[in-house]
Structure 1
Amino acid sequence: MQDNPPRILLVDDEPDNFYLLEELLKSQGYDTLTAASGTEALAIARNELPDMILLDVMMPGLDGFEVCQQLRMDGGLQTVPVIFLTALQDDTSRMRGLELLGDDYLTKPINHKLLLTKMASLLRLQQMRSRSVPSQVNEQTKTQLSESGNINQILAEKLRLFVPEQFLRRIAPRGLESIQLGNVKEEEIAVLFCDIRGFTGISESQSAGETFKWLNGFFTQMNVCINPNNGFIDKYLGDALMAIFDRAGLKAQDALTAAVMMQQSVKEFNSNLVEYNLTQPIKIGIGIDMGIAAIGALGAEGRLDSTAIGDVVNTAARLQELTKHYGCGIIVSKATIARLDRPELFYLRWIDRVTPRGKQQAQDIYEVQGIATQRAIAEPILEPGVQAWQAGTI
């Protein structure tokens, strides 16, 4: 007897048939399992993983054909040999059994010698396949993994054109396959909104293609200012952009430096207006705030977007709108000023204490006039003067 004899699952709703088949198979060194219905057969097969199934067709509930169909749909059982043992002798039933990928179809009364010969042949064939397939599968798997790895690498590189690396680290911490709705993290960031002034009037005088061309040129220059200062563009909003700065301890410093560079870069862009068929210089307004936001994958299962959500985002957008009212290039919140690592590097001017649209609490807002080569003399005098004005003492 073999050390590990093949296990054969017998499926029949007639107890007498069990007895005869069990005795026959045990005499040949097989182990047997029995099931009196199709449902029971599937449960036993999934738990015990038999080497072969001898399957009756006519049974209450699930018949043999339905059982075979479910076996062939089960990744763990689809290759298990199945021999139909049935009283149905018509060609239609026989064809049905073969169409469902049954390995053989024997009619009752069963020729025991024929059954044993077929069983032995199928088991030997299954054993030969199990020895040869792994090496083939290994080679195929290596090729597939290699191809899959290359494809994933290409996809990842292309995805970075649409989703910044800083976002991918948050929404896909274990590679592209790990992207899912709800991958989110709360953290402190600085948010910058930049908007082009008079965009509607400019675009009305151009074709859509011309507008696309100069917008791409403009955004390219803005990106050159943002990326070197440890920021990344979250999204383009037609004639505007939203950028995020997340470097530990230097978020505010990075955001203000980028904003000043962006204003300077616009002057360079305006020196090439003829190239873009523009008749008037481009002007921008920038708003910056700092605070806690949720960064992650937002949307629905079928369509996700990477973004940041929080009051800091709304406030930065409102401050950008205020640049129109006050005629400033850059307006930042007091919360941002308070987090500057080296405030002496910037020329800062207090503007007003306002309640931005949609907000309930008033806050101090400041204009960033540029980067200082030395600390402005007026700065120590300015803050006490502002405080006195707010207190009504002057």
Structure 2
Amino acid sequence: MLNHPPKILLVDDQPTNLILLENLLQSEGYDTVSATSGMEALTMAKTSTPDLIVLDVMMPGMNGFEVCQKLREDSILQTIPIIFLTALDDDRSKLRGLEVMGDDFLTKPFKNDLLLTKIASILRLQEIRSQQFQQEIKEKTKKQLSAAWNINLALSEKLRLFVPDQFLHRIAPNGVESIQLGNAQEEEITVLFCDIRKFTTICESQSPSETFQWLNVFFTQMNACIIANHGFIDKFLGDALMVVFDRPKSHPQDAVNGALMMQQKIVKFNSDRAKYNLIQPINIGIGIHTGKGIIGALGADSRIDSTVIGDVVNTAARLQELTKHYECGIIASESVISQLHPSEFFEVRWIDRVVPRGKQHAQDIYEIFESGVKLRS
């Protein structure tokens, strides 16, 4: 049985028809989404993953038969049941509906009971087939499972300790075996650089094993703040972190929230620093910038690495360096600040208009700090 109300995508270029269908199906406990064109229907099918589609045929641009054919060519969407609901009542149209592999064909005006019965029957049949298929796959998997498969699975899990899932989705779209040099995506992201102040001085007062111990604790705590705000660590750079936030339309806010949480976590870390033979409290500087970047597999044929390339990375690194000069805990660029939502939890202060090292154009930079607390590095 489905563990959620079945979702039905309704496609018709006439709003009155959609309202009629929505009222009818919602009264029977179905969840509905609607589209008024063929192109919109394809987009919604990909984003809403309906359990069934009720599809008009005569629509401008792309007719229902063409929509059905596109869906059947999509490996993810091709098994969604489709009921044609159309004013067409000729044999040629019905034959065309069968040719594009529609599941049923009803003509307008339709009888409510007939439509509801067909929907319920098709959904039940689809569920039975799905259960049978899943059982067959399960049994086949058990039979084919071997030591080699177990080893490969273990290696894949270990790989995630070195390469975050967000990278794997981009550089290995069809599984780990599909990783290859050059796999990449360009998109807008927010990059955060975090650096420990006076790290060299700290190391001079400790043994390498002591430094190694507290660094792992420090990175673990910072990583928890990053994950909690939908980011992922791209690289550990000795005493520094390069972090990527990529949640659509939310990554600048996520990065700022993560940075503030990291600053708060440092307070707790410093309260326990005696465990790690740390005489002075640890301070960090954070730089944040939003812009276009390439996320992908970079390197040579025999050695590749997952990474982010672009001006967004260089600028974030330069802003982190400026935290030392301006004695700020967090510095962000205008591209970040312009996308933040007003909040009672943090404040923003304009610092200066500067040309960061290695750059050619001046930009405004801002300090971000927790409300009521002036954070200094």
TM-score bin, normalised by smaller chain: 0.5 to 0.7
Deviation at 1:146, TM superposition (A): 3.5
| Paired position in structure 2 for 1:306 | 306
5 Å matches for 1:73-88? none
Q: Deviations over 1:134-177 (max 9, x none)?
A: xxxxxxx9877533332222111101111111111111111110
When structure 1 is superposed on structure 2, of 171-180 and 320-329 the one drifting more is 171-180
| Paired position in structure 2 for 1:31 | none
Deviation at 1:369, TM superposition (A): 1.2
Q: Deviations over 1:113-143 (max 9, x none)?
A: xxxxxxxxxxxxxxxxxxxxxxxxxxxx987
| Paired position in structure 1 for 2:191 | 191
5 Å matches for 1:282-301? 282-301=282-301
| Paired position in structure 2 for 1:265 | 265
SS at match of 2:161: coil
SS at match of 2:146: helix
| Paired position in structure 1 for 2:329 | 329
Judge conservation of contact 1:190–1:245 (CA < 8 Å) in 2. Answer: yes
Deviation at 1:343, TM superposition (A): 5.5
State whether structure 2 residue 179 is matched by structure 1 residue 179. yes
Structure 1 unaligned spans of 5+:
1-140, 374-394
5 Å matches for 1:16-31? none
What code does the residue aligned with 1:182 have?
Answer: G
Judge conservation of contact 1:260–1:371 (CA < 8 Å) in 2. Answer: no
What code does the residue aligned with 2:183 have?
Answer: N
CA distance in 2 between counterparts of 1:289 and 1:320 reads 10
Judge conservation of contact 1:188–1:293 (CA < 8 Å) in 2. Answer: yes
Deviation at 1:248, TM superposition (A): 1.0
What code does the residue aligned with 2:363 have?
Answer: Q
Cα distance change on mapping 1:228 and 1:371 into 2, 3 Å = farther
| Paired position in structure 2 for 1:153 | 153
SS at match of 2:162: coil
Judge conservation of contact 1:191–1:242 (CA < 8 Å) in 2. Answer: yes
SS at match of 2:163: coil
Deviation at 1:259, TM superposition (A): 0.3
What code does the residue aligned with 1:314 have?
Answer: N
What code does the residue aligned with 1:188 have?
Answer: E
CA distance in 2 between counterparts of 1:269 and 1:286 reads 17
SS at match of 1:160: helix
TM-score, L = length of structure 1 = 0.57
When structure 1 is superposed on structure 2, of 206-215 and 344-353 the one drifting more is 344-353
Cα distance change on mapping 1:181 and 1:143 into 2, 3 Å = farther
What code does the residue aligned with 1:233 have?
Answer: I
| Paired position in structure 2 for 1:136 | none
SS at match of 1:320: helix
Judge conservation of contact 1:189–1:292 (CA < 8 Å) in 2. Answer: yes
Deviation at 1:370, TM superposition (A): 1.3
Deviation at 1:342, TM superposition (A): 4.0
Aligned length: 235
Deviation at 1:371, TM superposition (A): 4.8
What CA RMSD, in Å, does the superposition of the two structures yield over aligned residues? 2.1
Q: Deviations over 1:32-64 (max 9, x none)?
A: xxxxxxxxxxxxxxxxxxxxxxxxxxxxxxxxx
| Paired position in structure 1 for 2:128 | none
What code does the residue aligned with 1:353 have?
Answer: R
Deviation at 1:346, TM superposition (A): 2.7
Judge conservation of contact 1:249–1:341 (CA < 8 Å) in 2. Answer: no
| Paired position in structure 2 for 1:34 | none
Deviation at 1:344, TM superposition (A): 5.9
SS at match of 1:274: helix
Deviation at 1:347, TM superposition (A): 0.3
CA distance in 1 between counterparts of 2:202 and 2:372 reads 33
| Paired position in structure 2 for 1:370 | 370
CA distance in 2 between counterparts of 1:250 and 1:266 reads 24
Judge conservation of contact 1:337–1:343 (CA < 8 Å) in 2. Answer: no
Deviation at 1:354, TM superposition (A): 0.3
CA distance in 2 between counterparts of 1:358 and 1:210 reads 36
Cα distance change on mapping 1:326 and 1:302 into 2, 3 Å = same
When structure 1 is superposed on structure 2, of 158-167 and 334-343 the one drifting more is 334-343
CA distance in 2 between counterparts of 1:143 and 1:303 reads 36
What code does the residue aligned with 1:198 have?
Answer: K
TM-score, L = length of structure 2 = 0.60
What code does the residue aligned with 1:299 have?
Answer: G
What code does the residue aligned with 1:305 have?
Answer: D
| Paired position in structure 2 for 1:276 | 276
CA distance in 1 between counterparts of 2:224 and 2:270 reads 16
CA distance in 2 between counterparts of 1:185 and 1:174 reads 15
What code does the residue aligned with 1:232 have?
Answer: F
What code does the residue aligned with 1:225 have?
Answer: C
Cα distance change on mapping 1:251 and 1:372 into 2, 3 Å = farther
Cα distance change on mapping 1:344 and 1:311 into 2, 3 Å = farther
Deviation at 1:301, TM superposition (A): 1.3
What code does the residue aligned with 1:170 have?
Answer: R
Cα distance change on mapping 1:223 and 1:303 into 2, 3 Å = same
